[in-house]
Amino acid sequence: MFMEIKGIKNSDKIKLILSFTEYSKLMPGSKKEIKKVTTHILQEMKNKGEKISMLTAYDYSMARIIDNAGIDVILVGDSASNVMAGHETTLPITLDQMIYHASSVVRAVNRALIVVDLPFGSYQGNSKEALQSSVRIMKESGAHAVKLEGGKEVKESIERILSAGIPVMGHLGLTPQSIYKFGTYSVRAKEKVEAKALLEDAELLEKSGCFGLVLEKIPANLATSVSSRVKIPVIGIGAGGGVDGQVLVLHDMLGITNEFSPRFLRRYANVYESMTKGVKKYISDVKARDFPNANEQY
Ligand code: KIV
């Protein structure tokens, strides 16, 4: 709707309309045209040889920062069980808790594809439950896809979830939900038999319709062969540089956690240190009656 503004030249009217368009882009609530990342775009990235960036997030504020920074995929990982809730393993986190984390992330994100982990006990051994859990995640959080761990043993669950139109991402190699079966968090598939089984599982996941695959903590040359053997994007964590993209746990790569230092982890910041410094300064300012000062009160 345009108002007739009397006494203004046509060229100035055009300038006014253009500047209103620019202004409206900046108004709260107005959204810039953003090309959202989809599973199809990830496939195109692999086809073009463009690497995919993926990080975890579990809450609104962190998700907002990494989405605005341009991350391609956000994983609402069940590692929330470790880094958010302080559990030793990923096993205790519940479907309700995953949905809570996922919906906080969804509210923050404009561009990234949001993938949510199906938690332990919500899909294994029962494909109907796998579908119900996935439907709850999609309906109640607004996320775009689910991820689950395992190969042939979860094939039926994957197919049933896909039959409802829900994109599924696989996860092979070190699968933390099976930690009590493995006994350790050490590198997987170093031996020929396990490496062959992993390759077969990767092909099966592709054939079942997974749009992508995470490979965790396996030898780099094996991960490179998987990535060239399957057409779908392969994202690695501790799986070397020969895959189609990388994922890290946000709290580890930012140095929020400081007690976990596997070889594959590169720290891009030391947030633990800078937060400690900030909090210590705040405490001493309060104790010294320096905060708040005259300008920081009403
Ligand atoms: O839960 C998680 O953070 C994950 C990544 C390690 C891939 O599954």
Each residue's pLDDT tens digit, 187-199: 999 999 999 999 9
Catalytic residue among 50, 216, 273, 296: 216
What pLDDT shows up at residue 33?
A: 79
76 lines ligand 1 (CB under 6 A): no
What pLDDT shows up at residue 6?
A: 53
pLDDT in tens, 161-178: 999 999 999 999 999 999
The residue extents of the domains of the chain are 1-33, 39-267
CA of 278 to the centre of ligand 1 (A): 29
The residues facing 285 across adjacent strands are: none
252 lines ligand 1 (CB under 6 A): no
Over range 97-113, report the average pLDDT. 98
CA distances from 22 to 25, 31, 35 (A): 5, 12, 19
Testing ligand 1's pocket by substitution, the residue of 78, 89, 116, 257 carrying the most ligand atoms inside 8 A of its CB is: 78
Burial class of residue 65 in the structure, from the number of CB atoms within 10 Å of its CB (0-12 exposed, 13-18 middle, 19+ buried): middle
User: Which atom number of ligand 1 is nearest to the Cα of residue 176?
Assistant: 8
Over range 112-131, report the average pLDDT. 98
**Could you tell me if 224 and 240 are in contact, meaning their C-beta atoms sit under 8 angstroms apart?**
yes
CA distance 250 to 256: 8
Binned at pLDDT 50, 70 and 90, residue 30 comes out as low
166 lines ligand 1 (CB under 6 A): no
Testing ligand 1's pocket by substitution, the residue of 117, 246, 265 carrying the most ligand atoms inside 8 A of its CB is: 117
236 lines ligand 1 (CB under 6 A): no
Q: Which fold has domain 39-267?
A: TIM Barrel (3.20.20)
72 lines ligand 1 (CB under 6 A): no
Active site residue 153: no
What pLDDT shows up at residue 3?
A: 44
pLDDT in tens, 261-292: 999 999 999 999 999 999 999 999 999 999 99
CA of 156 to the centre of ligand 1 (A): 22
247 lines ligand 1 (CB under 6 A): yes
